[in-house]
Chain A
Amino acid sequence: MRIGEWRRWLAGGAVVAVLATGGAVWGLSDGGPPVRSVEQRVAVVDGPHDDQHVVLDTTFTAPRRPGRFPAVLLGHGFGGTKADVRGEAERLARDGYAVLTWSARGFGRSTGEIALDSPDYEVKDVRQLIDWLARRPDVRLDRPGDPRVGMTGESYGGAIALLTAAFDPRVDAVAPRITWNSLADALFPDAAAGGDASSGVFKKLWAGLFFSSGAGRSACGRFLPALCEQYQKAAEAGRPDAEVVATLRRSSPASYPGRIKVPALLVQGQTDSLFPLDQADANARLIAATGAPVSVAWYQGGHDGGDPETGRVDELVREFFDQRLRGDGGGPARFTVTRAGGIDSATQKTVVTAATAPGYPGTANRPRALALTGPVQPVHRPAGGEPASISALPGLGALGSLDALGGSALAGAVDVPGQSAVFDTAPLAEPVRLTGAATVRLRVAGPGDVPLFAKLYDVPPSGPAAPARRLAAPFSVARAGAGRDVTVTLPAMDRLFDRGHRLRVVVSTTDMGFATPPAPGTYRIAAAGPLTVPTVPALRAPAPGVPAWVWALPAAAVLVAAALLATGRVRRRDSFDPELADVPLEITGLTKAYRDGHLAVADLSFRVERGQVLGLLGPNGAGKTTSLRMTMGLIRPDAGEVRIFGHRVAPGAPVLSRLGSFVEGPGFLPHLSGRDNLDLYWRATGRPADDAHLEEALAVAGLGPALDRPVRAYSQGMRQRLAIAQAMLGLPDLLVLDEPANGLDPPQIREMRDVLRRYAATGRTVIVSSHLLSEVEQTCTHAVVMAGGRRVAAGPVAELTGAGRRLEDAFLEIIGEAP
């Protein structure tokens, strides 16, 4: 920075005075560190002769904590005021910047007239705002009078950033968004090679909107009168004249090559027919030529609407300033393109991903040539230029952004029959992603100077063709009478053309957004060369990373599961007492209390020897069934143990395979037949089929033909017999039957007794529980009598009954004595 120059500037008479400080002070604390804002009016002097006094309405927003912060000048869009950018200013201030917003001259409560970011007016104003910043105690200085300052803003506020940087070396970095390189070329574009604003086609719809938003109620509103006059003249003619082009060029960064030497981030919209991507491209070339690093970002929004991607753009700008205003100022330049990548299934919203490449390659990178087919086509321009085809519509907004989804249902764009020529490529063998501006060479013949409009369409294999982007590239062909070849640059864009799709170049004679001559005419248009499609393969969208919990959660879950299984483990003590190896069953001190506190079995002990038929006798609720369930390993005793052939019983203890049981009713799969039930049960034990002795068991069941009917059709007695047969499968060494006589008729009961006696006679052991005394008396050799969960008597039946006494009497006597 040259102090001398700054002194001259001051000497030139620019006096900055703060007319009112502390107009309003407020603190904000929602989300992030608090910031404070101060409104003040700043008096500045500008004009070609530095004689115009203007008062700017400004707001200074800075972090509440003490310190000196890098400054950011944040401009607003055309037709707006500083209030439009308050939110962004506060976000930047929270990130540690001292942000100054102002209403540009001619807008809001600032005085003066609109001069379109002119170096004589708006640029001088902003230079004095930088002076003002340099005197703030909370703004970081590079040198006295030279604050560390970056500039950003959209559109009108972006152009002033570029222009100020061209005129004031104190600006350290600029991040202009959706703004122009040449206002002349933006409003009078000519996409033909060698064309410029002087031969351009008037972008009448946007120009009209642009000017009327500054005009207000009167025709010229707050415009500088001279400026207004020039615009009206050009708009009336529908053609540029030298004077207006010269004025617009004065307000264009394009006119100051070599003067913008600071790092830049150029954010441009893909949905923007006012300042399309080529404007940012031109700015990038302009700045890069000075050697300054230039990052470029193309996002989904723009003047025509689309996804504003506020968060992402904010982030880009903040990152840029953090890099260029804070740290060492270094860091690589990048090219970022955001792409609509489908729909997030969880939120049903379009996913926009950002692809990045190191360095900006321009809009003509690595072109591929695709041959165009199509005959020479006559097109005509209607008298008066109506009806006109429609490509972009200012403010079309949401409709324009729908195309980005590829939802071509709303084609929207209208081409009037007879007014357009169409040239197609062959269907694509592989998808092609166009990034940049395609070019095409056309041969045009027709009377006089011809304005034409070139557009790019995407033609799916089935369904209607849709505009690749709602943009048209106007171009004019001078003296086309004998036919002229012209190379046309199509609108720059980023677009994937899918496999099987064709690219289509449409050349039309009219476009609603542009002025066309009222005279009718007919032209012949032919493709004179291939379509060159630029690509940027270096653009890579980072695979959207998954949050750490995606990996951590399953790992944590496995740990939790392991902990659950390890801690819940009951120590399995395989205990075998060889002395008891021949004792079918020994129960010692067996105790079980249910959760409700009911003591079902208390300190039960007894022993069963080989060849015995033991009756477990007791009234209902005596604890017989609970004891048997513990014998089967289904219920865990609170104390004591059960040993079968010397092996302690636990859930799943292998010795249980020597036990056949029927406890508390049958358990069958009702949809299977009796035979299948037994068959599958035996197969479930995993033992050899030959060991089952199925026929013997079936003989016990005596079901006859019913054996092949589903069990659900059985009577209770039939199920009972089938269950006893199941218990006898494999001829277990110890057979436990709980109330086996239930549901059997007297002859069956008698037969059952014989079966059990015979069974015990083979050296096996049978335990029968029953509350029927006669049953036990007639079947059993020994008996254990239980009451209230305790053993009250045990011994051979004959001993219990005594001489000539019936068991029933003995039983009642025993029960009566029970505690």
Chain B
Amino acid sequence: MTAAGGAQGYAARRTLPLRVEAVRQFRRRRTLVAFGILLVLPWVLVLAFQLGGDPGRDGEPGLVTVATSSALNFALFALFVSAGFLLVVAVALFCGDTVASEAGWSSLRYLLAAPVPRGRLLANKLAVALAYAAAAVVALPAMSLVAGTAAFGWGPVALPTGGSVPAGDALGRMALVVAYALVSELVVAALAFLLSVTTDSPLGAVGGAVGLVIVSNILDAVTALGAWRDFLPTHWMYAWTDALQPDVVWTGMAKGASLSVSYAVVLLALAFRRFRVRDITS
């Protein structure tokens, strides 16, 4: 028996190790399906470009017009087309599902009675969910690089605004782009997590977070809101394209990261506060 009254061998800091939680989540079908989609999508896009031919250089300068210039270009394009919705859904899935699904299966109460301290349970679940979400966000461009190299070859990045960046330099920019994409999804992750501890329905948590993104995008289209739109969680979603200008422009990314981190910190604090005192009736 331990000093705090626990059974022999029990220590709160050893409960629910990250590895155990990772295994618990990994074998879920939705985890595998989400990763499957993200890993197959680049090949589908490659196929689309092969069938449809070169996107051409007419019209507005954009990532699509230079998508087939090189593997890095292709990866950036893949990220561009999926950042708005697909990655949001993936992140919301991993973070929104994690607590709510345990509540739905009733396994949450047994974990808490094991006992896994509530703060520790949330912290470790959040860490694992964020890791999976990050892996999802990274998996897509990583597989796109593989698919792009196979289909379009390795080479310098053609910038949509003209000019090019050598591949070595461009890899650094790519890392910056992915890092920003990760940070900008934090707000989605945090909201999904808050909903996850609030509701017992995993679908509600995931749907709620995705819904927020949709509503935010709609409001963002209302130009009459003026500067207020700067504070919408999705307003800076594509600020990472600033990393693809001849000189990296940091302003947008700084604003977006600041906003996302701020929302996330408050939402996560709400989640912990709520879960700490909540009666578990599931």
Contacts and interface: CB of A to CB of B under 8 A. Distances in A.
Interface of A: 341-346, 351, 405-409, 460-461, 463, 496, 498-500, 543-547, 549-551, 553-554, 556-558, 560-562, 564-565, 568-570, 574, 576, 629, 632-636, 644-647, 651-659, 661, 663-672, 680-681, 683-688, 691, 726, 730, 732-733
Contact of B10 (A498, A564, A657, A663): A657
6 contacts: A341-B247, A341-B249, A461-B164, A564-B273, A635-B280, A685-B15
Contacts of A670: 105
Interface string B1-44: 11011111111111111001101100111000000000000000
A688 B263 contact: no
B57 to A, nearest CB: 5
Contacts of A546: 250-251, 254-255, 258
B140 interface: no
A632 B113 CA distance: 6
Interface string B102-114: 0001111111111
Given A669-B24, A681-B114, A654 B239 contact: no
Nearest to A635: B279
A569 B276 CA distance: 8
Nearest to B117: A652
A690 B12 CA distance: 18
Given A564-B269, A669-B105, A646 B11 contact: no
Interface string B271-282: 011101101110
Contact of B6 (A345, A543, A657): A657
Contacts of A544: 249-251
B259 A655 contact: no
B263 A557 contact: yes
A346 B239 CA distance: 6
A470 B221 CA distance: 36
A543 to B, nearest CB: 7
Given A341-B247, A654-B12, A685-B10, A561 B115 contact: no
B55 interface: no
A274 B6 CA distance: 89
A554 B261 contact: yes
Nearest to A546: B254
Closest 4 CB pairs of A and B: A686-B14, A406-B162, A667-B106, A342-B245
B201 to A, nearest CB: 16
Nearest to A555: B262
A661 B112 CA distance: 11
B5 A646 contact: yes
A341 B245 contact: yes
Contacts of B251: 544-546
Contacts of B100: none
A634 B279 contact: yes
Provide the main secondary structure of the chain A interface. loop
B115 A667 contact: no
A652 B112 contact: yes
A405 B115 contact: no
Which of B10, B11, B263 has the most A CB atoms < 10 Å from its CB?
Answer: B10
B106 A664 contact: yes
A670 to B, nearest CB: 7
A344 B119 CA distance: 41
B252 interface: yes
A561 B17 contact: no
A684 B258 contact: no
Contact of B58 (A409, A569, A647, A661): A409
B265 A558 contact: yes
A687 B112 CA distance: 15
Contacts of A569: 276
Contact of A407 (B14, B162, B241): B162
Nearest to B101: A669
Given A634-B109, A685-B116, 20 more contacts: A342-B247, A343-B61, A345-B236, A345-B239, A406-B163, A544-B250, A545-B251, A549-B258, A550-B255, A553-B262, A556-B262, A629-B109, A632-B109, A635-B280, A651-B118, A652-B115, A663-B109, A684-B17, A684-B116, A686-B17
Q: Please indicate which of the listed interface residues A569, A574, A680 has the most CB atoms of chain B within 10 Å of its own CB.
A: A680
